Chain A
Amino acid sequence: MVENRPFGNALAHFILIAGVIVIVFPVYMAFVASTWDAATIANGKLGLVPGPHLVENYTRILFEGTGGTTRAHVATMLLNSTISAVIIAVGKIAISLISAYAIVYFRFPFRMAAFWLIFLTLMFPVEVRIYPTYKIVADLGLLDTYTGLSVPLIASATATLLFRQFFMTVPDELLEAAKIDAAGPIRFFKDVLLPLSRTNIAALFVILFIYGWNQYLWPLLITTRDDMQTIVIGIKKIVAVQDALTEWQLAMATAVLAMLPPVLVVVLMQKLFVKGLVETEK
């Protein structure tokens, strides 16, 4: 539909730009705050222009750490967060793909029971099963490990359901053609289903990476060592200092750094992500 409505366009742009400002302004302020020294922020003299301490603040937070309750530097935290978020995202996708494949394409006893069991777990978020999960992880000696950080968050009903729905839309004839083309179950999965699920996988990866990155409660419970902390917890610990001024410029620098990897993932996978949400390639 091609329409020429100058007023309508201007209004739409105004609303959208206003929305962008509302979202971007706090982020910008966090960035500005991260470029001044502690005294300026504490005295409430923070303006709208970045200050002279950018390099100093970021080097300090990345490689030296703060005098707060955590002594780990942010580079380690970033690494921890990245590793666990990637394991969570990849693990969830791998498990969901396989379980959805089993549920959709194989006839085995209690198939529907298995499906409903998976479905039921949707109703128990991490918070609800946190005590038993913690007990198991602790008994297995997985506290303060990447395994402990990621594995309990991997089993995922949402992703399984999503792939199940997608697999059910794949025409049966493709499976039959593959059967006649001498492709066994594993070949069919690898050569046909996986490539067809490409965009879905990308979309899920973005969502799950951010889900893993933003985990707070679970990492808080099972990490005790500073060098196993994730960045989301790091921010909290940098803010909470005892008997001293919070070094807000460092907290803000950490927040800005914590935002970058998810943004990077979204930007890099944007094309596939949007495709996965709107397009069905069949």
Chain B
Amino acid sequence: MASVLLDQVVKTYPGGFTAVKGVSFAVPDGGFCVLVGPSGCGKSTLLRMIAGLEAISDGAVSIGDRVVNKVEPMDRDIAMVFQNYALYPHMSVYDNMAYGLRNLKTPEPEILARVGEAAKILELNDEMLKRKPRQLSGGQRQRVAMGRAIVRKPAVFLFDEPLSNLDAKLRVQMRIEIRKLQRRLKTTSIYVTHDQLEAMTLADMLVVMNAGRVEQVGAPLELYERPASVFVAGFLGSPPMNFLDGVIEKPGLVRLSDGGELAYDHAHFGPPLGAEVKAGVRPERVTFARDGAGLPFTLELVEELGLGQLAHGRLAGADFTVALPAAHNAPSGEAQHLAIPLDAVHLFDRKTGARL
């Protein structure tokens, strides 16, 4: 058990490319931290630096109370689950899980006990333990990879996009299992993914990264409801948030580019008059206005999801999506009006992307 502390961590490659540009955050003991961001944002690099697989160019990584910048991976008291599982193909499942313990000179009876325990947690039966990894399905291999991490009883689990090689159904199932497992073992975990849904569901603590920097750190719902930037707002949530360009005309009113009026809660946002803003609205917070009031919306396409419907169209010259619950039927006809509640509107600076 240990907390993980990152202090102004920088990674510069020999070619001069800086992949991680000064990242700081702290994962509390027993916390489940998810690093999320688009490909190339530096999240995997950061995880590999915590694991000790990449050198740290500047700053400090601490596990527990110990700065581990110069500590070998095997001495950092971590275990890692890789994207392609990285199981030793020539060893049986049992040997795969036992290998690390054997290298640490753990007595054989204890190895047997620990592997047995892990196998029970992961529902791997004795017959499976004798097989080679290539005789297992993707989901089973993923379990073995996690088993290999569990038997070590490390202070920190590191997951590098462990579910991205699985099919969609299995991904959801394994996601739930990982969460249950972490609750049960209470081991500090850091998990990297590019899938915002995985990130939202797994995390106690979400770190959104973009271009080598941290955009925002916080609880998933907090980030969802109060995104600190256009990037976070657009990245979290599916379908993503809609954005409309406008100018602040008076407190509580945005004049949209097509002349429409969008009201916002000026108790929460205090932009100066005349500021150029991006107004963000989550698709599920919008409803169709039946009485002809509200903002004019051109309906172009309705997607049926079963769970609900997505109505795609144009509003004030921008693409706009409305998410409707299952009970609602999308109205027919192109010309529609949308009702946008006051508290559904987020305002961001159009130039910097920061929340106002």
Contact = CB atoms under 8 A, between A and B. Distances in A.
Interface in B69-107: 72-74, 78-80, 82-91, 99-100, 103-104
A180 B88 contact: no
A76 B80 CA distance: 57
Interface string B92-133: 000000011001100000000000000000000000000000
A176 B82 contact: yes
Q: How large is the interface on B (under 10, 10 to 19, 20 to 34, 35 or more residues)?
A: 20 to 34
Contacts of B87: 177
Contacts of B340: none
A182 B90 contact: no
A180 B89 contact: no
B84 A173 contact: yes
Contacts of A173: 82-86
B106 to A, nearest CB: 10
Contacts, number: 60
A71 to B, nearest CB: 50
Nearest to A196: B90
The A contact surface, by secondary structure, is helix
Given A182-B74, A192-B88, A176 B53 contact: yes
B150 interface: no
A171 B133 CA distance: 15
A171 B86 contact: yes
Given A176-B53, A181-B100, A182-B100, A196 B89 contact: yes
B92 to A, nearest CB: 12
A176 B99 contact: no
Contacts of B99: 181, 183, 191
Contacts of A191: 88, 99
B51 interface: yes
Nearest to B105: A182
A250 to B, nearest CB: 48
Interface in B281-340: none
Nearest to B85: A173
Contacts of A282: 89
B133 to A, nearest CB: 10
Contact of A174 (B51, B83, B88): B88
Contacts of A176: 51, 53, 73, 80, 82, 86
Contacts of A177: 80, 82, 86-88, 148
Given A174-B86, A195-B90, A180 B103 contact: no
Given A196-B90, A281-B90, A282-B89, A181 B82 contact: no
A105 B13 CA distance: 19
A171 B83 CA distance: 12
A174 B53 CA distance: 12
B89 A187 contact: no
A196 B86 CA distance: 13
B103 A182 contact: yes
Contacts of A181: 74, 99-100, 103, 148
B87 to A, nearest CB: 8
B91 to A, nearest CB: 8
Contacts of A187: 103
A15 to B, nearest CB: 37
B7 to A, nearest CB: 23
Given A187-B103, A191-B99, A179 B86 contact: no
Nearest to B72: A179
Contacts of A183: 74, 99-100, 103
A182 B104 contact: yes
Nearest to B81: A177
Nearest to A170: B89
Interface string A165-202: 00000010110111111110001000110011010000
Nearest to B98: A181
Interface string A101-136: 000000000000000000000000000000000000
22 contacts: A173-B83, A173-B84, A173-B86, A174-B86, A176-B53, A177-B82, A177-B86, A177-B88, A179-B52, A180-B51, A180-B100, A181-B74, A181-B103, A181-B148, A183-B74, A187-B103, A191-B88, A195-B91, A196-B90, A198-B90, A281-B89, A281-B90
Interface of A: 171, 173-174, 176-183, 187, 191-192, 195-196, 198, 281-282
